[in-house]
Structure 1
Amino acid sequence: MKSVFLVGFMGSGKTSIAKALQTKLSWKLQDTDDMIVQEYKQSIPEIFRERGEQVFRDYESSVLKKTNLEQTIVATGGGIIEREENRKFLKQQEMVIYLDTSWEEINQRLSDDETRPIWSNENTDKKELLKARISKYKEVADFIVKTDGKSVDEIANEIISFI
């Protein structure tokens, strides 16, 4: 097995589930958001504020192509599927899991989260953004895992059953 890529909307649990999978499988872990922070020496909110979302998306596309593809769990950013080049890259990977999380669950999980630039932007209709992205997540996914009402451990075990 080469690697497992996790995709889904912000708040769907990609990072938490990636960490659980890393522990259970003893694989490497890469998080594209962490890779951006390390490579570009700025936090995600700083990049959004100082350089804008398009520059962030450029960085995101760049680091996606640098992911280690041997026994690695890759947690991607929620908007990574917005660019066609990223969807093409993901479709070429051995396994992509879409963490399908309802709007109600996401809204509950992120209600107090002020660290996510898109979530904290009052001018963005997050529910509409989720609706617009669902078909793109499904386009790249080999498997869809519904996350509502499940623990991180339950979701990780479900993903392991696909491997």
Structure 2
Amino acid sequence: MSSISLIGMPGAGKSTIGVQLAKATARDFIDTDLLIQLREQKPLQQIMDETDYLNLRRIEAEVLADLAYDHHIIATGGSAVYSEAGMAVLKQLGPVVFLDVPLQELRARINNYENRGVARHPEQSFADLFAERNVLYHQYADHVIRCEGKTQHEIVTLIAELG
């Protein structure tokens, strides 16, 4: 069986849903943000503080390009969609699922936008980032799960039913 990759904004629930989905589908779980942190031996925000958001995106693209996980649930960083090559690797591993959460709900979930390690231009607002990335999420998604009004269990079930 193939892997399933989850894409979406910070706060969309990729890691939370990913762990539950891995249990529900008897797959292993990997979080690419953790792979970046392990490789660099520092948190995402520290990488950006010491360099910049473009360097974090470059590192993320390298990590995505090296993925070779069969039968996994892969939770990606929100900025994975900036790497065309990285997204091609994810699509080779299996379907890409976009967890589509409305902006207002994301705002309610994210209380640490400024220091969460979000790969964005320092002057970019959360709404601007949402608008920019939303186009890319739809472009790369094989499946879109509209999460508004759904429980985590319902979201996991919808994704698991995709196969």
**Structure-1-length-normalised TM-score:** 0.90
Q: Which residue of 1 aligns with 2:66?
A: 66
* Structure 2 gap ranges (5+): none
Q: Which residue of 2 aligns with 1:102?
A: 102
CA distance in 2, matches of 1:84, 1:148: 28
Q: Which residue of 2 aligns with 1:19?
A: 19
Task: Show the 5 A alignment for 1:17-96.
Answer: 17-96=17-96
CA distance in 1, matches of 2:55, 2:143: 30
Contact 2:8 2:100 in 1 (8 A): yes
CA distance in 2, matches of 1:15, 1:79: 14
Aligned-residue identity in percent: 28
Q: Which residue of 1 aligns with 2:123?
A: 123
Classify the secondary structure of the residue corresponding to 1:162. coil
CA distance in 2, matches of 1:125, 1:113: 9
**Cα deviation code 1:84-135 (max 9, x no counterpart):** 3233334444200000010001001113566413399873211111111112
**Cα deviation code 1:4-49 (max 9, x no counterpart):** 0000011111000001011112211111100011111011111010
Contact 2:13 2:99 in 1 (8 A): yes
Contact 1:118 1:124 in 2 (8 A): no
Q: Does 1:2 align with 2:7?
A: no
* Structure 1 gap ranges (5+): none
CA distance in 1, matches of 2:16, 2:115: 16
CA distance in 2, matches of 1:156, 1:132: 26
**Structure-2-length-normalised TM-score:** 0.90
RMSD: 2.0
